[in-house]
């Protein structure tokens, strides 16, 4: 499926929601000032593959789709470690990411919804957030 992502973050309506997957994940890196979470791909240890896999008209549909994507799922040669939803009004509005801390030897998963800006913008423009 070839889904154009040129409209992500362009600030226009109608709003759309793109779902992307990636092999990249957060890695806790110690340095002189303590430590920092960084993308493993940014450390140059590997070049992560990623792909936009679906496009939806509503955030609800995109979130339901995301809930059905398991981590470690081999999707067309991509080992899923992170999942994102991006839209036209805000850019990234959701992420679900693995995070590895070698110091603790743990892999955790976290997710963040950040749709407040999108909701307010749609309200201002007389559109319902769905």
pLDDT digits (tens, 9 = 90+) for 27-84: 777 766 666 778 778 878 777 788 888 999 999 999 999 988 877 655 556 677 889 9
Confidence of residue 112 (pLDDT cuts 50, 70, 90): confident
Average pLDDT on 92-111 reads: 83
Phi and psi at residue 61, in whole multiples of 5°? -65, -40
Average pLDDT value for the chain: 83
pTM value > 0.85: no
């Amino acid at each position: 499926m070839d889904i154009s992502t040129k409209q992500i973050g362009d600030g226009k309506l109608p709003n759309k929601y793109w779902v992307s997957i990636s092999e990249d994940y957060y890695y806790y890196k110690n340095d002189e000032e303590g430590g920092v979470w960084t993308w493993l791909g940014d450390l140059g240890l590997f070049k992560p593959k990623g792909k936009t896999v679906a496009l939806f008209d509503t955030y609800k549909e995109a979130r339901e789709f995301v809930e059905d994507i398991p981590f470690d799922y081999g999707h067309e040669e991509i080992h899923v470690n992170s999942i994102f939803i991006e839209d036209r009004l805000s850019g990234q509005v959701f992420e679900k990411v693995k995070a590895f801390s070698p110091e603790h030897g743990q892999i955790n998963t976290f997710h963040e919804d950040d749709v407040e800006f999108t909701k307010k913008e749609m309200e201002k423009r007389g559109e319902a957030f769905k």
